[in-house]
Structure 1
Amino acid sequence: MPTTIPPLADLLDPIRDYARRAGAVIMTHYQPGGMGDDVEAKGDGSPVTAADREAEAIITPLLNALTPEIPVIGEEAASAGDLPEIKQGPFWLVDPLDGTKGFIKGSGEFTVNIALIVDQRPVLGVIYAPAFDEEFGGYGIDTAFMKQGDGADQPISVTSPPPAKVRVTASKNHRNQSALDAFLAGREVADCDARSSSLKFCEVAAGRADIYPRFGPTCEWDTAAGHAILEAAGGLVTDVNGGPFEYGKADRKFLNDSFIAWGGTDPAEWFAKTGS
């Protein structure tokens, strides 16, 4: 029997609340001057803190109670080998603290990411940046929003058509400069801003950047929420050749290949111009 999925509009507010609850716990650990020795290394060498674990411990039970039939894939549980079977059904992806390296260094560019995957596509996403009290979300089409502090939700959308000089946002800690230079060769670039965490997706979704190329591996929980929000803002995410970018790669431990997050830029036109 197919899993029953509640209306996405009904799921949005609870997910926003869960992200904020996790963010509040993270902020009890946040040290703007940088953390001391309260950092461990996971099996893949990436860092993890108590904040990562405590945030995920808040979100996962809440999602299980909200949608008991829909499994939850959380970064920290997955890293420990705790992976529920997803088969071909819907599932949640949770990154309880995206941008851990920046968090450890005292940067405010870290986020809580929650996304719902249906038919290998992210259909709902929420990103909360607790240090900035800034929230982004969206589902489906034309529902993307941002909220700053106690302000009201503000609709956001990609810049379309894009400006003649492209505005690029790229990874601060994982940049492949040679691949980025090759991708942008022959293009007029207005600026290339380096950001941490899923906030790069938000920059494109809010029309503050036009493209986010990522050359190198990520995990599905790193990208799913931002992917959903970007599509809700009128953008899209593809592989580096303009093909589909899908989720549910359990056989690869939910590892992504390189991708491009597009604002108002048409991938077909981009690749036609470059001859790729």
Structure 2
Amino acid sequence: MALPDPLAEQILRISKLAGDKIMSIYDQDFAIFEKQDTSPLTEADLAAHNCIVSELKAISDLPILSEESANIPWDERQTWQQYWLVDPLDGTKEFIKKNGEFTVNIALIDKGVPVLGVVYAPVLQKAYIGIAGLGAWTETPQGFTSISARQHEEGEIWKVVGSRSHQSPEIKNLLEQLGGESELVAMGSSLKLCLVAEGEAHLYPRLGPTSEWDTGAAHAVANAAGASVTVLDPENPLNPVAEALTYNQKESVLNPFFLVSA
């Protein structure tokens, strides 16, 4: 099948090109893991960033905000109605550990809302695509599969996504408060949001720091799959606030705590 939006097809293609750039470095034997100018990690970041920016400029006149070119003044950014939000390599620790759980993230943001997103995991050869109003899919070498978030049913074990690299007492507290049995599903990078989007988990509470480029693409996938990404009250992080996570609405690019749920 083909995706119902030609632009999404283009973004998927660009994500894979960037993934190829990353893999050419990831597959090498390297011993320097610190993110310094000459490290393989930085090489992979910049190679993917340059690839994505070049390809996006060839198909779109919209501005681009990338982790690797984030020093755009707020005076300029606040005028943007639409823009591309990019994390060329999300999952630093996963890249270093070589566990495959890192991704290329590209999102289209429209008036603060992620309306198109592609999350591509090059080692896993798996992409997640979300298009507002049209649906969400995974793509593997076997083809496209439609996905949707799955609500928790009474008596079912709660599946709660947590970071493979970051654990917190708040997560343990949440598991205790859910009632019934629960299981923590460990995952790296933006793939955590995607697990809720494809119905493999019920909740992903994020009670630690993230930046907007960490979440934009997977947020688009989650929304298109029927999940919600809502802000959490910093004074009571287990209590969802009735507002969706938004983008480029303030000078800081740091996200508040949030909850992904079905």
TM range (shorter): 0.7 to 0.9
Contact 1:202–1:226 (Cα < 8 Å) also in 2: yes
Aligned positions, number: 245
Structure 1 counterpart SS, 2:133: coil
Between the aligned residues of both structures, percent identity stands at 37
Shift of 1:232: 0.7
Residue 247 of structure 1 is matched in structure 2 by: 247
Deviation per CA, 1:136-194: give whole Å up to 9, x if none.
Answer: 10111351000112x2210001113545321011111123x211123333322431011
Residue 13 of structure 1 is matched in structure 2 by: 9
Residue 212 (1) aligns with residue 204 (2) = yes
Structure 2 counterpart SS, 1:256: coil
Structure 2 counterpart SS, 1:248: coil
1:198-237 paired onto structure 2 within 5 Å: 198-237=190-229
Shift of 1:38: 5.2
Aligned-partner residue type, residue 21 of structure 2: V
Separation in 1 of the partners of 2:224 and 2:211?
21
- Alignment root-mean-square deviation, CA: 2.1
Residue 126 of structure 1 is matched in structure 2 by: 118
Where does the alignment leave 5 or more consecutive residues of structure 1 unmatched?
A: 1-7, 264-276
Aligned-partner residue type, residue 171 of structure 1: S
Shift of 1:249: 4.0
Residue 32 of structure 2 is matched in structure 1 by: 37
Contact 1:217–1:255 (Cα < 8 Å) also in 2: yes
Aligned-partner residue type, residue 219 of structure 2: H
Query: Which structure's residues are more often strand, by fraction?
Result: 2
1:252-271 paired onto structure 2 within 5 Å: 252=252, 254-263=253-262
Contact 1:249–1:255 (Cα < 8 Å) also in 2: no
Residue 72 (1) aligns with residue 64 (2) = yes
Contact 1:32–1:108 (Cα < 8 Å) also in 2: no
1:60-139 paired onto structure 2 within 5 Å: 60-68=53-61, 70-78=62-70, 81-82=71-72, 85-86=76-77, 87-139=79-131
Residue 237 of structure 2 is matched in structure 1 by: none
Separation in 1 of the partners of 2:143 and 2:192?
22
Where does the alignment leave 5 or more consecutive residues of structure 2 unmatched?
A: 233-239
Shift of 1:246: 0.8
Residue 37 to residue 261, structure 1, CA distance change in 2 (3 Å)? same
Separation in 1 of the partners of 2:98 and 2:24?
13
Residue 57 (1) aligns with residue 42 (2) = no
Residue 173 of structure 2 is matched in structure 1 by: 182
Contact 1:22–1:56 (Cα < 8 Å) also in 2: yes
Residue 60 to residue 193, structure 1, CA distance change in 2 (3 Å)? same
Structure 2 counterpart SS, 1:65: helix
Residue 38 to residue 82, structure 1, CA distance change in 2 (3 Å)? farther
Residue 142 to residue 82, structure 1, CA distance change in 2 (3 Å)? closer
Separation in 2 of the partners of 1:40 and 1:19?
22
Residue 3 of structure 1 is matched in structure 2 by: none
Residue 22 of structure 1 is matched in structure 2 by: 18
Residue 193 (1) aligns with residue 192 (2) = no
Greater CA drift, 186-195 or 205-214: 186-195
Separation in 1 of the partners of 2:181 and 2:55?
43
Structure 2 counterpart SS, 1:147: strand
Separation in 1 of the partners of 2:153 and 2:50?
41
Q: Given the two structures, how large is their TM-score scaled by the length of structure 2?
A: 0.87
Aligned-partner residue type, residue 255 of structure 2: N
